[in-house]
């Protein structure tokens, strides 16, 4: 049940591997949202290896911590994380995107894939469900914690703020959320489409304890989480991130919300991420076209 | 004719508060989520089990998501607010969080149909059957009185499936009497008859009861079958009735479009049968004037007199 305690170089190496597999999978399966996946990869790696108490052999153990990827369109990176963490073999991801596979653009329900707590994809649903899980722990008397990652675009949804109000009234101290604040949503800058700034102040005004960090710094994640841990309010960590983080030609370029990388771009990504040639493994596998 | 002619027991609303309190006292998994309504109605529950009551405020979308998360964490949440706000107001949350996740949550829509006739169409719920019938995993129940409501609530929790229960407000006729309430997917024969069968769902069944009495005086023998299950449809029971009757009338306080009557019609069509049938429900129009629930039932022609008229037409 206890998380591993990987060193920062180990976490960084894992993040590079997960990023690469997500990019290669996007090419092979035709799955979009790479920019959104890469901006929250570091958060996911840190949570799944150093924070969450899980039992990968018995994924529904009652005492487990819960994690909900509220920005469900980043599922491609979550699927890679769950495989690497040991919920299922990475080999099952070979069927990604094929007819009949559970691995697609959004997480399926917990009944259909080990390690998933909620089927998200429609924005604004993950936080209310996470809050319900956090409040249930008081009645079932299981001392688990609940975590969620929201997108900044997702904060357009009114239901997010309904949940923020209730979490505050209920003092849901076992609930921690991260806003993957990459400053973009599907078709433009998140601060221009709706008035999101000042984002941290909004969460504070809603009665949450809130800190702002660099969402690609494991040190900052660690220290923010620990400095908030004794607070009896729900916690929001605003993670300033870069859409497409880690791949120079994708960083802060919103075309990668939808674009699918070519084989050459996958090879360039491998080189940027220091992935050895023998792990690129594009030969002999044909990209799936759903066009 | 009026409901006052019939014996009434405790209102459905009070019966709900009493039943949910009993359930919560007996089972710590049962929690009540209310959307800032029911002033003082739940005082007993709040006093005895404060941890099992959540006033979620006027924020229904969140309330459904919270309930879904609780249901997935071992609890048996019951969500309570006025029917339009626990139904179509948060339809997508019901589809995704409850239906798709098959989360064992009971949604209770109080003051359903035309109970709040005087508050206008914002407070009417005449499309909930139609939209909920199309959501996989969701059961749709419409008890007719306090006793059947109590049973529906218990059966819904025992089923561990997402369930919508549409209830009235007050003044519902006691139609169950000493009978026991049938299981989900079954029906209750209230009056036996030989010429025509009235299939009625929900609280408007009190009007069907009055219609049967009037028809008796006119020399028409009508069977009255009460259906609390809109989904799954009580197909076995209906099939038996179709063997006995060629003339039928369905009654619901809901749009004729997509409701109970239409589901009976489509069942008959799938069986390849030809029947004389009228499906009484509200027409495809908002009611832009105010009035009592009785007035509204007359306005939409689902009151006892309109049921009598429909029966006489199908019996011709």
What SS3 state is found at B282? strand
Question: Residue B28: which of A110, A139, A166 has the nearest Cβ?
Answer: A139
Burial status of residue A94 (CB atoms within 10 A of its CB: 0-12, 13-18, 19 or more): middle
Q: Could you report the per-residue pLDDT of A34-49, keeping only the tens digit for each?
A: 999 999 999 999 999 9
CA distance A47 to A179: 14
Please answer yes or no on whether A136 and B73 come within 8 Å at the CB atom.
yes
Q: Which residue in A112, A113, A129, A174 has the most chain B C-beta atoms within 10 A of its own C-beta, making it the best mutation to test that interface?
A: A129
Nearest chain B residue to A142, by CA: B73
SS3 A117: coil
Contact list in A for residue B97 (CB cut-off 8 A) is 125, 128-129
Q: Do B70 and A136 touch (CB under 8 A)?
A: yes
Q: What is the pLDDT of residue A11?
A: 98
Delimiting residues of CATH 3.40.50.920 domain(s) in chain B: 187-315
**Among candidate residues B197, B85, B183, the one with its CA nearest the CA of residue B143:** B183
Distance from CA of B49 to the nearest CA of A (A): 11
B65 with A136: Cβ contact below 8 A: no
In chain A, what are the domains?
A: 39-247 (3.40.50.970)
Angstrom CA distances, B210 to B142, B288, B307, B315, stand at: 19, 27, 9, 18
pLDDT digits (tens, 9 = 90+) for B141-189: 999 999 999 999 999 999 999 999 999 998 899 999 999 999 999 999 9
Instruction: Report residues of chain A scoring pLDDT below 50.
Output: 291
Nearest of A124, A170, A156, A172 to residue B62 by alpha carbon: A124
Which chain A residues are within 8 Å of B69, Cβ to Cβ? 118, 128-136
Picking from B261, B263, B225, the residue whose alpha carbon sits closest to that of residue B241 is: B225
pTM of the full structure:
0.96
> Could you tell me which CATH class the domain B9-173 is placed in?
alpha beta
CATH 3.40.50.920 fits B187-315, yes or no: yes
Torsion on CA atoms A113, B90, A167, A229, rounded to nearest 10? 20
Count Cβ atoms below 10 Å from residue B122 Cβ, excluding itself.
Answer: 10
Compute the nearest-CA separation of A283 from chain B (Å).
38
ipTM: 0.95
Nearest Cα residue in chain B from A146: B69
Three-class secondary structure assignment of A70-106: CCHHHHHHHHHHHHHHCCCCHHHHHHCCCCCCCCCCC
The mean pLDDT of B10-30, rounded to a whole number, is 94
Angle formed at CA B238 by CA B234 and CA B239, multiple of 5 degrees: 120
DSSP A213-243: EETT-HHHHHHHHHHHTT-SS-EEEEEE--T
Per DSSP, A191 falls in state H
Every domain range in chain B assigned CATH 3.40.50.970: 9-173
Considering only residues 64 to 83 of chain B, which have any Cβ-Cβ distance to chain A shorter than 8 Å? 64-75, 77
Do residues A8 and A50 make contact, with C-beta atoms less than 8 angstroms apart? Answer: no
pLDDT of residue A290: 56
Q: B3: pLDDT confidence band, cut at 50, 70 and 90?
A: very low
Token look-up 């990209």 returns A287
């Amino acid at each position: 049940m206890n998380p591993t305690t990987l060193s920062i170089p180990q976490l960084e190496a894992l993040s590079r591997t997960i990023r690469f597999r997500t990019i290669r999978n996007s090419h092979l399966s035709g799955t979009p949202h790479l920019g959104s996946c890469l901006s929250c990869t570091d958060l996911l790696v840190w949570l799944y290896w150093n924070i969450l108490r899980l039992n990968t052999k018995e994924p529904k153990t009652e005492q487990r911590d819960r994690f909900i990827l509220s920005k469900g369109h980043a599922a491609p990176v979550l699927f890679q994380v769950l495989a690497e963490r040991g919920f299922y073999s990475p080999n099952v991801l070979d069927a990604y995107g094929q007819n009949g596979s559970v691995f697609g653009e959004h997480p399926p329900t917990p009944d259909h894939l080990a390690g998933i707590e909620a089927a998200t994809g429609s924005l604004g649903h993950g936080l209310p469900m996470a809050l319900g899980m956090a409040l249930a722990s008081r009645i079932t008397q299981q001392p688990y914690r609940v975590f969620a990652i929201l997108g900044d675009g997702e904060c357009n949804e009114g239901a997010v703020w309904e949940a923020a109000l209730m979490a505050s009234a209920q003092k849901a101290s076992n609930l921690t959320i991260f806003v993957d604040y990459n400053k973009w949503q599907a078709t433009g800058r998140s601060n221009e489409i709706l008035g999101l700034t000042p984002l941290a102040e909004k969460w504070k005004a809603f009665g949450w304890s809130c800190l702002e960090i660099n969402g690609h710094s494991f040190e900052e994640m660690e220290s923010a989480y620990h400095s908030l841990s004794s607070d009896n309010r729900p916690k929001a960590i605003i993670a300033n991130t870069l859409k497409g983080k880690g791949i120079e030609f994708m960083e802060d370029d919103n075309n990668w919300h939808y674009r699918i990388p070519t084989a050459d771009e996958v090879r360039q990504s491998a080189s940027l991420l220091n992935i050895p040639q023998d792990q690129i493994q594009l030969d002999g596998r044909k990209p799936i076209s759903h066009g | 004719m009026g409901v006052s002619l019939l014996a009434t027991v405790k209102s459905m609303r009070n019966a709900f508060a009493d039943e949910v309190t009993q359930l919560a006292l007996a089972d710590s998994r049962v929690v009540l989520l209310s959307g800032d309504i029911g002033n003082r109605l739940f005082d007993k529950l709040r006093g005895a089990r404060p941890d099992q009551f959540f006033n979620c405020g006027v924020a229904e979308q969140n309330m459904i998501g919270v309930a879904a998360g609780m249901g997935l964490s071992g609890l048996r949440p019951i969500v309570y607010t006025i029917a339009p706000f626990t139904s179509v107001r948060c339809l997508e949350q019901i589809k995704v969080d409850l239906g798709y996740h098959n989360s064992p949550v009971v949604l209770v829509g109080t003051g359903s149909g035309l109970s709040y006739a005087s508050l206008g169409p914002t407070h009417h719920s005449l499309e909930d059957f139609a939209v909920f019938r199309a959501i996989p995993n969701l059961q749709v129940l419409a008890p007719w009185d306090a006793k059947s409501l109590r049973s529906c609530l218990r059966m819904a929790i025992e089923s561990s499936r997402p369930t919508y229960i549409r209830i009235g407000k007050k003044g519902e006729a006691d139609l169950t009497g000493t009978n026991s309430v049938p299981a989900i997917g079954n029906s209750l024969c209230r009056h036996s008859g030989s010429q025509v069968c009235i299939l009625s769902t929900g609280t408007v069944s009190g009007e069907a009861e009055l219609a049967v009495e009037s028809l008796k005086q006119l020399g028409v023998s009508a069977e009255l079958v009460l259906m609390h299950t809109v989904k799954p449809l009580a197909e076995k029971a209906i099939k038996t009735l179709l063997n006995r009757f060629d003339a039928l009338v369905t009654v619901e306080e809901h749009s004729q479009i997509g409701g109970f009557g239409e589901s009976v019609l489509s069942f008959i069509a799938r069986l390849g049968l030809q029947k004389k049938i009228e499906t009484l429900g509200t027409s495809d129009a908002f009611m832009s004037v105010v009035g009592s629930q009785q007035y509204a039932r007359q306005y939409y022609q689902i009151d006892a007199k309109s049921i009598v008229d429909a029966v006489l037409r199908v019996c011709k």
